[in-house]
């Protein structure tokens, strides 16, 4: 395996974080220090925790622990997406696209948690 940049999880979580960055530019100014910051933070943390997990891959328990952080941050992003949709800051189409990508990320994380040896753990 090359680097963390080769992980499908890294690539998809980076795309999600950047797409969220773009759509949140249109959120109301009064959301700057709440919803906008929170959804950007959690989506970026999903990506950054993936890098951290990759760096811990020699130690299966640490690897899996960091991956559970990835899963937690991704789940938080889904919650913020729900708020954004219900507040009419994003359309149902944008919500479905972003939530769908987040679901893919969740499945990838779970696969990695279930199969750490396939990712150099141990």
- State the DSSP code for 28: -
Give the whole-angstrom CA distance, residue 98 versus residue 112: 21
* Domain map (residue ranges) of the chain: 4-119
Which alpha helices (H) appear in 1-122, and where do they start and end?
A: 8-24, 37-55, 60-86, 92-114
What digits encode the pLDDT tens for the residues 38-88? 999 999 999 999 999 999 999 999 999 999 999 999 999 999 999 999 999
What is the three-class DSSP state of 44? helix
pTM of the model: 0.94
Give the whole-angstrom CA distance, residue 18 versus residue 21: 5
CATH number listed for the domain at residues 4-119: 1.20.1440.60
**Confidence bin at 1 (pLDDT 50/70/90):** low
What digits encode the pLDDT tens for the residues 4-52? 999 999 999 999 999 999 999 999 999 998 999 999 999 999 999 999 9
Give the closest residue to 99 by CA, choosing from 83, 116, 117, 77: 77
């Amino acid at each position: 395996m090359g680097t963390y940049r080769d992980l499908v999880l890294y690539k998809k979580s980076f795309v999600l974080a950047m797409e969220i960055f773009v759509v949140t530019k249109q959120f109301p100014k009064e959301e700057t220090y709440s919803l906008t910051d929170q959804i950007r933070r959690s989506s970026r943390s999903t990506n950054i925790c993936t890098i951290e997990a990759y760096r811990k891959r020699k130690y299966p328990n640490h690897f899996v622990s960091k991956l559970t952080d990835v899963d937690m941050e991704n789940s938080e992003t889904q919650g913020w997406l729900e708020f954004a949709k219900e507040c009419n800051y994003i359309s149902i189409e944008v919500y479905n696209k972003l939530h769908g990508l987040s679901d893919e990320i969740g499945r990838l994380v779970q696969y990695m948690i279930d199969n750490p040896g396939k990712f150099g753990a141990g």
